[in-house]
A = this chain, B = another copy of it.
Amino acid sequence: MLGNFTFYNPVKLHFGKDALNFLHGELLQYGPRVLLCYGGGSIKRNGIYDKVMQVLRDAGKTVVEDPGVMPNPTIGKLREGARLARENDVDLILAVGGGSVIDYAKGVSASAWCEEDPWQKYYLRQEEPSCRTIPVGSVLTMVGTGSEMNGGSVITNPETHQKIGKVFQPGMMPRFSILNPEFTFSLPKWQMAAGMFDIMSHLLEQYLSGTDDNTSDYIGEGLMRSLVHASRIASANPLDYEARSNIMWTATMALNTMTKMGKSQDWMVHMIGQSIGAFTNATHGMTLSAVSGAYYRHILPYGVEKFARFARNVWEIRPEGKTQEELALQGIEALESWMDEIGVVRHISEIGVTEEMIGDIAANAIITTGGYKTLSTDDIVKILHDSL
């Protein structure tokens, strides 16, 4: 059943090889000062920085640069960016990069004119901005997080080993996002693989929850089938535009709030993964893939029917002559075998987690309640052990 919900997603998306052509028109809707946020400099090597700077110049903008946004953006960096945005009184924050940079830009937007500490207000207390905020736009260079079409902002506090996601209201979503699949061509293969698993994980967190029948799950199944199909083509030939364009669009559709409408959700894989990220600084998608096998095997007995449906409808496994349990398990095995195909890690030891760290990671993981089993910290310890 679809419960009560409000769906509102006012992000304007320009998609395709010519998408950057729309940036000029978007920029004209804002004042002259732009904070340009980006990461470690890959956009300088692949030429995207030059292209974007040209458009900014042509639109007569004054650009304040804010480089060095790290893969797991820290609250310290965010506080600096907020100061930069405020001191330069920028009219627009333009994030050029992947989910980390866009997540960071939303945090800067909410914090620039906020008198309270953003870590306390937005991430720990999960409040909405009560101050003036700054419009955000994005040019996407990496797929996975869906940050280009949602209000999500995940920030890490290295001092407390906490990595916390805040989902801002629709008014804080990017006003526009530029999605050119070719901008993802220069990504290393492992990073593309991590992004593909991040997409799958978003879909699974929303799908593998609840026992009711709802349209959102059917949309989720369609997106998973598209992802699996395109990922196999893109893994064999990373420059296949058709596959890469489908992966990019699937990523956006997978976390724009659509596939969760009216249904329960899980999100424990993300909670455990984010805790690992706070202790190891590992790539987000890899922290998810490293625990997913053990996590889903752990909760399978509590959601057999949906796992069986997952096997049938996503992996096209025939049910004849099998118990629901056997079918359900084959769905997880198909998922794991696909993970091997695309080349993501399947064990936390591969991303720097040792047995000694498990207690702290488990203790720091936020526990959500929408999944088939509400975990205890002991459950998380067991899952992490099984993932070693």
Contacting pair B19 A15 (CB below 8 A): no
A:240-262 near B, CB below 8 Å: 241-243, 245-246, 249-250, 253, 258, 261-262
Contacting pair A2 B246 (CB below 8 A): yes
A:206-240 near B, CB below 8 Å: 212-216, 218-223, 225-226, 229-230
Using Cβ atoms and an 8 Å threshold, which residues of chain B touch A243? 213
Contacting pair B215 A246 (CB below 8 A): yes
Cβ of A1 under 8 Å from chain B: yes
Q: Identify the closest chain B residue to A17 (Cβ).
A: B4
Using Cβ atoms and an 8 Å threshold, which residues of chain B touch A5? 15-16
Give the distance to chain B from A203, nearest Cβ to Cβ, in Å: 11
Cβ of A120 under 8 Å from chain B: no
Contacting pair A241 B17 (CB below 8 A): no
Cβ of A14 under 8 Å from chain B: yes
Cβ of A188 under 8 Å from chain B: no
Contacting pair A13 B19 (CB below 8 A): no
Cβ of A324 under 8 Å from chain B: no
Give the distance to chain B from A146, nearest Cβ to Cβ, in Å: 13
Render A18-51 as a binary contact track against B, CB cut-off 8 A, 1 for contact.
1100100000000000000000000000000000
Q: Identify the closest chain B residue to A240 (Cβ).
A: B1
Using Cβ atoms and an 8 Å threshold, which residues of chain B touch A302? none
Q: Identify the closest chain B residue to A176 (Cβ).
A: B8
Using Cβ atoms and an 8 Å threshold, which residues of chain B touch A249? 2, 214-216, 261-262
Cβ of A9 under 8 Å from chain B: yes
Cβ of A297 under 8 Å from chain B: no
Q: Identify the closest chain B residue to A9 (Cβ).
A: B9
Residues of chain A having any CB pair with chain B under 8 Å: 1-19, 22, 181, 212-216, 218-223, 225-226, 229-230, 241-243, 245-246, 249-250, 253, 258, 261-262
